[in-house]
Chains A and B, each alone.
Chain A
Amino acid sequence: QTVVTQEPSFSVSPGGTVTLTCGLTSGSVSTNDYASWFQQIPGQTPRSLIYSTTTRSSGVPDRFSGSLLGNKAALTITGAQADDESDYYCALYMGSGIWVFGGGSRLTVL
């Protein structure tokens, strides 16, 4: 069974930089996993931030960037703002129409 891992929580100071990661319990994440990142403010619908590892979705500020970092996918927020405080989920495409989400990371900006 494929398990996608994320850090449960993170904190960052306003204006700071934070990197969230998305890994696999067995194996490495590669571009072939088409990693996606989503932001979900509590009580709201998830919003696509990044897809295909590095591509920003329409309307997403460039302070959000995606990359591969070692054997994981990564979401970096540069110049964090108060309204970036949210839950962040990654998803990996396993092929054949199957996706697996990570457990989510709660980001606190303080």
Chain B
Amino acid sequence: EVHLVESGGGLVQPGGSLRLSCTASGFTYRSYWMSWVRQAPGKGLEWVAYIKHDGTDKKYVDSVKGRAIISRDNADNALYLQMNSLTIEDTAVYYCVRVGGDYSLDHWGQGTLVTVSS
């Protein structure tokens, strides 16, 4: 069974940084693209970033470009999202998502809450 568990969320001040982690199990992690998707309180879903299975390609939504770095460690079945220069608008639940066949966002973790506040 596919299992994705995020961690690293919490309260951070504006301008601060945070590193989110996701541990994957139940599938051959090194073979799959992965993404981060976020959801601000009471708002809709927003795709944030993607990384290719081997880490050779990465993309970001415009609102985090230059402030976020997605990375992965295939030896440890881990996915990361480093977020810098955080603003109140980055407050959201961040989901770790597996990209399946035909670009499906097929499995989601439970999410980790990031709150940016002074």
Contact = CB atoms under 8 A, between A and B. Distances in A.
Interface string B66-82: 00000000000000000
B57 A97 contact: yes
Contact of B45 (A1, A51, A91): A91
Interface string A29-66: 00000101010100001111001100101000000000
* Interface size class of chain A, counting residues whose CB lies under 8 Å from the partner chain: 20 to 34
A102 interface: yes
Contacts, number: 73
Interface of B: 33, 35, 37, 44-47, 50, 52, 57-59, 61-62, 95, 100-111
Q: Which 9 A-B pairs have CB atoms at the shortest separation, nearest pair first?
A: A51-B104, A52-B102, A93-B103, A97-B59, A97-B50, A99-B47, A104-B44, A101-B45, A34-B103
